[in-house]
A and B are shown apart, each in its own frame.
Chain A
Amino acid sequence: MVETANTDRGDLQVAETRSAAAIAGAVWATKIARARAMPPEEKLLAGARLFDRVQLRMMEGIRALYPTWSDQQIVVECRRRLAAVRVREERGIYTPVDPS
């Protein structure tokens, strides 16, 4: 009986994994099809436009965490977080140059 239950659970997990993989595959295919259909002149600056939207979402999140903060404090915190990500990504790649 226990063995049967375990097998059922295993089958369910396999089915769920297959289903999740199918959904992920379909989402990816849609993403690729959309990107193919987008005009190149729109795509070049899209990264900068998306960044503005991401920043707004980040600021909304910070405001929700710290409702008493001023707009300026929220901007400073948002930029601090972005700078921290940048430092991590650039670690070991860039080194300062001595102008002399």
Chain B
Amino acid sequence: MTSDQALARVIDQLERGSIGYLVVGALSSNLYGVPRATDDADVEVLFDGFDVVSFAAGLGDEYRLDRQMMIEGFTGTVRYVLHHEPSGFTIELFRLGGDPHHQERFSRRRRLRVPECRGEAWVSTAEDVVIQKLRWARRKDLDDIVNLIAVSGDELDWEYVNRWAKVHGTSNLLTDLRAEAGR
């Protein structure tokens, strides 16, 4: 099983179980920007009644759940890591927490047709990709933002992006990146 098939299987299982989720991170920035290689998929999940151990077991022998939970420092979000052993690809499951932007991001998620997932998948909006990556601000995040703005900048709800950038104190960085992208 290849990496994209390994990911499609996880999305398919979330869909079949009617579990609330959305694809975030590099995969969602690829959707609106310039696709680049990534060795992991970030998926935010509603943990109301969601048993991550049973979920991982249901995926089959090729998947291994890392029992060590991690907490992300910016938002306090808890992360579980699923390893797909044959491909080396990882799927990171983030528990949707109380972070105000994450809550709004989840409520704004949209459906995307994905043939490999036998239907559709829930994905982050382009605006929410920019807002989140501004918070992380690693080198690769900044490149992703510039590419995303260059590809999809005309379609963004800038009022929404600016509002959250102000809340997170990232407005100046956003201004610089928009200039770099020529928008």
Interface residues of A in 46-66 (CB under 8 A from B): 46-55
> Is B68 interfacial (CB-CB < 8 Å)?
yes
- Known A32-B147, A45-B4: A51·B38 in contact at CB below 8 Å: yes
Q: Per DSSP, are chain B's interface residues mostly helix, strand or loop, or mixed? A: mixed
**B26, A82: Cβ atoms closer than 8 Å:** no
Once bound together, how far apart are the Cα atoms of A96 and B87, in whole Å? 25
Question: Which range holds the interface residue count of chain B?
Answer: 35 or more
Cα distance, A86 to B115, chains bound together (Å): 30
Given A41-B114, A43-B30, A86-B39, A48-B7 contact (CB < 8 Å): yes
Q: Is the CB of B31 within 8 A of A44?
A: yes
Within the assembled complex, what's the spacing in Å between the Cα atoms of A50 and B36? 7
Residue of A nearest to B91 (CB): A48
Contact B147 A55 (CB under 8 A): no
B35 within 8 A of A: yes
Encode B1-28 as 1/0 by CB contact (under 8 A) with A: 0111011100000000000000100111
Q: List 16 A-B contacts (CB under 8 A).
A: A45-B8, A47-B26, A47-B27, A47-B41, A48-B38, A49-B3, A49-B4, A50-B37, A50-B38, A52-B2, A78-B88, A82-B39, A82-B88, A86-B39, A93-B74, A94-B70
**A71 located at the interface, meaning its Cβ lies under 8 Å from any Cβ of chain B in the complex:** no
Do most interface residues of chain A lie in helix, strand or loop, or is the interface mixed? helix
- B30 in contact with A47 (CB, 8 Å): yes
- Type the 1/0 row for B136-166, where 1 means its CB is closer than 8 Å to any CB of A: 1010100000010011000000000000000
A interface residues, Cβ below 8 angstroms from B: 28, 31-32, 34-36, 38, 40-41, 43-55, 75, 78-79, 82, 86, 89, 92-97, 99
The answer to whether B106 has its CB under 8 Å from any CB of chain A is no
B2 contacts across to A, CB distance below 8 A: 48-49, 52
Residue of B nearest to A94 (CB): B70
Q: Beyond the given A47-B36, A47-B41, please list 16 additional residue pairs across the A-B interface where CB-CB is below 8 A.
A: A31-B34, A34-B34, A35-B35, A38-B35, A40-B31, A44-B23, A44-B31, A45-B7, A45-B8, A45-B27, A47-B37, A50-B37, A93-B74, A94-B71, A95-B70, A96-B69
Q: Within the assembled complex, what's the spacing in Å between the Cα atoms of A43 and B152?
A: 13
Output the least CB separation between A59 and chain B (Å): 10
| Closest Cβ–Cβ distance, residue A81 to chain B (whole Å) | 11
Q: B73 in the interface, Cβ–Cβ < 8 Å?
A: yes
Say yes or no: A35 contacts B151, CB within 8 Å. Answer: yes
Q: Which residue of A lies closest to B25 (CB)?
A: A47
Judge if B112 is at the interface, Cβ distance under 8 Å.
yes
Residues of B within 8 A of A96 (CB): 68-71
